[in-house]
């Protein structure tokens, strides 16, 4: 998406930061940061914490918070205490850019996790890069974010060295969805719809190309506008096209209503989308049964992974108000990746943070490798995750149920 929160690390809380600045080095521990004299590293989270996508954003924020708490409990980085500071982008690019500027201007912030939306990420990347501030998104899936605008032609070029993500790209997700529709669900005529956003349009386009390559037919293509609620015109087009299926590139607020109205128009066909619709809110948004609708999401179901059992238990023990939702495991892993990068930098600098901590942490992120909540966590030369696991979910009796999980192969 997407799908994606920011972990910010500061070397000292306010009073401590002044002390470090006066000393001209982050090497000195913060004598005023706490009773134990540890350096405080704040981890910032950027996500939609209010608005229609807040269900996902709150899960991202809480999961990063949990990573910081576990790191502190285990004394993961000797001499460092982690804290989290959250920023609400409301899924609006201009808000995300303003948040990125605030974080870069805060010298205490050494790394970030987020955002949720690919469109928001586009507005933040340049700001973070100019500030040498690493970001790890747990949910962005637009290929251009890491491989450049010409990725489709094979001319891949990493635009920003500070950008990383634990979610796989739509190159993988869109093709995975098309292969499931054609090979497993035996669909042959699909109507493709997107929300004209970077994530939705990109995902729908990749899906359509792969579906046609496999031998399927795209019998119609249309677009809707985010925050609109009347999709009866598009739904009637779906009905008259004779499509045996619908693919939607977009988010659950519009996706749920679209599925509702497609069926009300008389087209009893499944609506499939990406991780942007994989949320209970997709089902709740609809007044008509969504049974049979489908969604793909990055990774395997967290609840089914042995590696995630401890995360699920620890999350429950914190009694957060909101669930970890679709990106909780990836958010935890994104936060933990930054924590591991901090650990590497500190251990390589005689147990202290260097003056150029941001640059060093960015460099260290490219080399992290650990067994995370969602599996092996590491990044390739573009900053993309090396984990290509995906899952297809189907709405069954009013709830999402996994129906197929596998590691994508060309």
Using CA atoms, how far residue 168 sits from 76, 99, 115, 296, 307, in Å, is 27, 24, 14, 12, 18
Q: Which phi-psi region, left, alpha or beta, contains residue 48 (left: φ > 0; alpha: ψ -120 to 50)? A: beta
Tokens of 186: 């035996």
d(CA 342, CA 336): 10
| Helix segments in 193-307, DSSP class H | 198-214, 232-241, 252-264, 280-284
> φ and ψ at 143, to 5 degrees?
-60, -35
pLDDT 10s digits, 171-198: 999 999 999 999 999 999 999 999 998 8
Residue-by-residue DSSP string for 92-139:
-HHHHHHHHHHHHH-TT--EEE--S-HHHHHHHHHHHHHTT-EEEESS
What pLDDT sits at residue 410? 72
pLDDT 10s digits, 332-347: 999 999 999 999 999 9
What pLDDT sits at residue 333? 97
d(CA 295, CA 116): 17
What pLDDT sits at residue 261? 96
d(CA 403, CA 297): 12
39-168+304-379 and 171-298+391-407, same CATH topology: yes
d(CA 22, CA 308): 43
d(CA 362, CA 275): 27
Fold of the domain built from segment(s) 171-298+391-407: Rossmann fold (3.40.50)
pTM: 0.79
What pLDDT sits at residue 30? 42
Residues of the chain below pLDDT 70: 1-36
What pLDDT sits at residue 2? 45
List the beta bridge partners of residue 387.
none
d(CA 166, CA 35): 35
What's the CATH superfamily of 39-168+304-379?
Response regulator (3.40.50.2300)
Domain ranges for the chain, please list them.
39-168+304-379, 171-298+391-407
């Amino acid at each position: 998406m997407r799908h994606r929160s920011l972990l910010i690390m500061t070397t000292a809380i306010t009073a401590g930061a002044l002390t470090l600045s006066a000393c001209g080095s982050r090497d000195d521990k913060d004598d005023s940061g706490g009773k134990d004299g540890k350096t405080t590293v704040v981890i910032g989270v950027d996500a939609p914490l209010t608005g229609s996508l807040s269900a996902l954003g709150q899960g991202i924020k809480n999961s990063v918070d949990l990573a910081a708490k576990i790191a502190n409990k285990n004394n993961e980085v000797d001499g460092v205490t982690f804290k989290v500071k959250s920023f609400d982008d409301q899924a609006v690019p201009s808000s995300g850019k303003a948040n990125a500027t605030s974080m870069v201007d805060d010298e205490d912030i050494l790394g970030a996790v987020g955002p949720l939306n690919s469109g928001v990420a586009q507005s933040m990347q340049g700001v973070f890069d100019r500030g040498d501030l690493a970001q790890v998104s747990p949910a962005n899936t637009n290929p251009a974010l890491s491989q450049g605008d010409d990725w489709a032609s094979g001319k891949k070029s990493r635009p920003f060295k500070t950008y990383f993500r634990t979610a796989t790209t739509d190159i993988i997700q869109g093709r995975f969805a098309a292969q499931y529709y054609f090979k497993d669900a035996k669909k042959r005529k699909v109507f493709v719809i997107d929300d004209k956003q970077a994530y939705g349009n990109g995902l729908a386009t990749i899906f359509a190309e792969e579906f046609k390559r496999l031998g399927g037919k795209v019998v119609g293509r249309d677009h809707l506008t985010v925050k609109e609620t009347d999709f009866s015109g598009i739904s009637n087009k779906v009905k008259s096209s004779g499509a045996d299926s619908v693919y939607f590139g977009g988010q659950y607020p519009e996706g749920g209503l679209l599925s509702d109205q497609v069926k009300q128009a008389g087209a009893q066909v499944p609506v499939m989308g990406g991780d942007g619709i994989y949320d209970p809110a997709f089902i709740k948004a609809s007044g008509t049964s969504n049974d049979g609708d489908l969604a793909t999401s990055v990774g395997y179901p967290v609840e089914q992974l042995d590696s995630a059992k401890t995360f699920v238990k620890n999350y429950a023990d914190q009694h957060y108000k909101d669930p970890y939702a679709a990106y909780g495991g990836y958010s935890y892993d994104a936060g933990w990746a930054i924590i591991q990068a901090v650990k590497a930098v500190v251990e390589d600098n005689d147990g202290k943070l260097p003056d150029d901590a941001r640059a060093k942490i960015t460099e260290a992120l490219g080399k992290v490798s650990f067994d995370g909540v969602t599996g092996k966590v590491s990044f390739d030369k573009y900053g993309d995750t090396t984990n290509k696991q995906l899952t297809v979910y189907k709405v069954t009796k009013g709830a999402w149920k996994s129906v197929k999980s596998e590691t994508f192969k060309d």
